[in-house]
Amino acid sequence: MNNLAMELNSILDNTVTGRLLSRLGRRLYFPNGIIAQSAEAKISAHAANATIGMAFKDGKPLALSAVMENMNGFKPDEVVLYAPTAGIEQVRNIWKASIIEKNTSLENGNISLPAVVPGITAGISYTADLFLDEGQTIMVSDPCWDNYNLIFSERRGAELLSTPFFNSGPGLNMAAIGQAVRNMAKSGVVRMILNFPNNPSGYTPTKAEAEGLISLIREIAEDGADVLVICDDAYFGLYYENDIYRESLFGRLAGLHKRILAVKIDGPTKEEYVWGLRTAFLTFGSHGMDGCHHAALTKKLMGAIRSSVSCSNTSSQYLIMKTLADKRTEQEKTKYRELLEERYQAIKRFVRDMPNHPILTPLPFNSGYFMSFQCKGVNAELLRRELLSKHGIGTIALGEQFLRIAYSGVDLEKIPLMYRIIYKTAESLL
């Protein structure tokens, strides 16, 4: 094992992080190579800097006119230069401040400086690299985003513990979640990913449910289990009911217990309506960790980034900073959220008028981009194909039981007709 990896491991070994690291996670380190030496030269090479593979003239990067003319308002440095491996420090600090502002439970702000990753998917994948080995188990919701299977199971060889997060009631199936977590805790280690607002259900816990989840996780940590909680906060902030818990669970979990490591993966993808910028943030928090531990773990993450994509897109990071600083942004975000809420309310009224349907039962939904039906007596994939081929309506089938509808992409005036067709088509297949 590389000496740099061993040095980082020695810093982390007395924490929950050290115990949770995968075999790959223990091997990862950030090399004192081109990137590290170039960073030193950027500070001290006043005569000439011959370290990094970028081209300059008179101290300015070479940039094509076709590029810069189409990046109005940007400087060449903000477009064509490589970003640091963990991201531009200014945007990292801005995002950390925004996390603390949105999550008042983070009273002392004892979390790592968020690292920039090329999208939330990449953040989840890097977390899996750091903390999951072949044959280990991670709890996911049933249903869940289908990419979890590729990331956790196919890439890392882990086992998915699919847990029925929803039952016939109005919210979370707390009994099933509690049973699954307590059973995992018997092994001494619990790994889980919590995705709220949930994809595909479009559900966020109520305040009471959130307190129940936090109490459950505290309980198993106090009983001696090490706990990894990954908070997939892709749709954070899109809430349409008053009783929803409006912080990320990360805010409470990050300082809850020394046996709990909380990982927050979020970003502007949905929060700022910039899906294609492929920029997100990965943040760590644990009651048993300090700045030295955060730095060591971030260097391991940087090793994962450096060995895969090297760094995230530079212009996207600067564009995010400009967007967050723009006075129009918050007003426009409020308008867009209200637009999505109007669609949510229209769907809510429609399904409320169709109680006890023999085929389609909506999963609880109160937030985000989606709602889903559980299909009884009709195969969801067959229903999906029928809707597409005969009516030109695109939906997503998740296995045989669940049909997901992304109402985020459907104009309000189209919703009533679309839902009437979905119900009638399902009935025709029975």
Query: For residue 112, is it within any domain?
Result: yes
Domain final residue, candidates 265, 297, 325 = 325
299 and 373 together in one domain: no
Q: Distance between alpha carbon 290 and the CA centroid of its chain, in Å?
A: 23
- Same domain membership, residue 193 and residue 171: yes
* Token code pair at residue 158: 């882990």
Co-location of 241 and 374 in the same domain: no
Q: Is residue 110 part of a domain?
A: yes
Paired sense of beta strands 402-406 and 189-195, if any? unpaired
Considering only CA atoms, which of 8, 11, 17, 14 is closest in space to residue 263? 17
235-236-240 Cα angle (round to 5)? 90
| Residue 238 shares a structural domain with residue 356 | no
Q: Residue 361: beta bridge partners?
A: 374
User: Are 216 and 310 members of one domain?
Assistant: yes
CB 136 within 8 A of CB 153: no
Question: Are 348 and 355 contacting, i.e. CB atoms less than 8 angstroms apart?
Answer: no
Q: What is the residue range of 107's domain?
A: 3-30+85-325
Q: Is residue 58 domain-resident?
A: no
| Per-residue pLDDT, 19 | 98
Quick one: 335 and 419 in the same domain? yes
Measured between alpha carbons, how far is 65 from 76 in angstroms, rounded to an integer?
10
Helices (H), 307-414: 314-325, 329-352, 380-391
Residue 361: give its domain's CATH number. Answer: 3.90.1150.10
CA 216 and chain centroid, separation:
22
Answer whether residue 75 is part of any domain: no
Reduce the DSSP state of residue 285 to 3 states and report it: strand
- Note whether residue 38 is domain-resident: no
Paired tokens of 15 = 């924490």
Among 293, 325, 357, the domain-final residue is 325
Question: Do 288 and 189 belong together in one domain?
Answer: yes
> What does the DSSP 8-state code read for residue 407?
G
Judge if 207 and 356 occupy the same domain.
Answer: no
DSSP-derived letter for residue 364 is P
Phi first, then psi, for residue 247 (nearest 5°) are: -105, 165
Q: Do 265 and 340 fall into the same domain?
A: no
Distance, in Å, from the CA atom of 352 to the CA atom of 350, rounded to the nearest integer, reads: 5
Are 375 and 347 found together in one domain?
Answer: yes
Q: Within a domain: residue 55?
A: no
pLDDT < 70 regions, the chain: 33-36, 38-41, 45-49, 51
Contact of 22 with 132, CB cutoff 8 Å: yes
Task: Let me know if residue 351 belongs to a domain.
Answer: yes
Is the overall model pTM greater than 0.75, yes or no?
yes
Q: Residue 59: left (phi > 0), alpha (psi -120 to 50), or beta?
A: left
CATH number at residue 161: 3.40.640.10
Domain's final residue, options 325, 347, 377? 325
- Domain assignment present for residue 52? The answer is no
The pLDDT value recorded for residue 292 is 96
d(CA 72, CA 315): 12
* The predicted structure's pLDDT at residue 34: 62
Maximal C-alpha separation, the chain: 78
pLDDT attached to residue 41: 59
CA distances from 272 to 152, 207, 228, 339 (A): 27, 25, 28, 14
Q: Give the DSSP letter string of 118-175.
A: SSHHHHHHHHHHHH--TT-EEEEEES--THHIIIIIIIT-PEEEEEE-B-SSSSB-HH
Contact assessment for residue 197 and residue 368, using Cβ atoms and an 8 Å cutoff: yes
Report the SS3 class of residue 27. Answer: helix
Burial class, 135, CB count within 10 angstroms (exposed 0-12 / middle 13-18 / buried 19+): exposed
Count how many domains the chain has: 2
Q: What is the pLDDT of residue 417?
A: 97
Residues 192 and 258 in one domain: yes
184 three-state secondary structure: helix
So what's the pLDDT on residue 169? 76
**What is the dihedral sign for C-alpha 296, 299, 303, 305?**
positive
Beta bridge partner(s), residue 365? none
What are the two backbone dihedrals, phi and then psi, of residue 371, each rounded to the nearest 5 degrees? -140, 160
Same domain, 318 and 393: no
Q: Would you call 3 helix, strand, or coil by DSSP?
A: helix
| pLDDT given for residue 108 in this prediction | 75
